[in-house]
Structure 1
Amino acid sequence: MNWKKVAIAAGVGALAGYVVKEQVANKQGVTPEKALKIAKEAFKKQGPISGSWIYMKPEELNKNGINYDVYRGGISKNQDGETSQYEFFIDSETGTIIDVTEQTA
């Protein structure tokens, strides 16, 4: 067996494996932890936050006739001695904040 052919075959196999691995990694989108970090950074621009949470399992959201796979989470903020709570939805593929609503008691 010719070593050149073996080396070329091994190189092609390794390259194909790398390309497939990268494609799978890119398709997974945003982790719940990364989604929460994105939301916290956006809310911190308007003042300090006092708490946060996120569901780890994506769910489906229909917004304006478009279906999204989203992570749902929440942020608590203390402003002028009052606590405000917000619920947010972040696209699990792109990390884009789709919707934010203030929760009332």
Structure 2
Amino acid sequence: MNWKKVAIAAGVGALAGYVVKEQLSNNQGVTPEKALKIAKEAFKKQGPISGSWIYMRPEELNKNGINYDVYRGGISKQQDGQTSQFEFYIDTDTGTIVDVAETTA
């Protein structure tokens, strides 16, 4: 009888561990690669892009009194024969573009 209780306890423990692992893996937020893909898709709606980059480490950004953990990156576009560069910030949890600014070279 004792071995049955041990087997049931081991099975329940393994199932609980699997459920916790799945929940944690689903809540990891957005990777830098995914953040760059989101930004590129948004910018492509307004025309072709010629280059892009992203920092792999999250930064903290205070926007309108709210703190965000963000990835910072940039996009280059050709507009009217000139290259325009934009810097963007994407929330690491939701993948939302928090801020975009045109930069000067």
Would you call these one fold, judging by a TM-score over 0.5?
yes
- Tell me the amino acid that sits aligned with residue 69 of structure 2: D
Matches within 5 A, 1:1-105: 1-2=1-2, 4-105=4-105
**TM-score using structure 2 length:** 0.91
Q: Deviations over 1:16-67 (max 9, x none)?
A: 1112212321332100000000000000111110000000000000011110
Structure 2: 5+ residue stretches without partners:
none
Q: CA deviation at 1:12?
A: 1.1
Three-state SS of the structure 2 residue aligned to 1:61 is: strand
Moved more, 47-56 or 22-31: 22-31
Q: Distance in 2 between matches of 1:58 and 1:52?
A: 17
| Identical-pair percentage | 88
TM-score (norm 1): 0.91
CA RMSD of aligned residues (A): 1.4
| Equivalent-residue separation in structure 2 for 1:101 and 1:30 (angstroms) | 21
Gaps of 5+ in 1: none
Query: In structure 2, what is the Cα distance between the partners aligned to 1:103 and 1:84?
Result: 8
Single out whichever of 2-11 and 95-104 deviates more from structure 2: 2-11
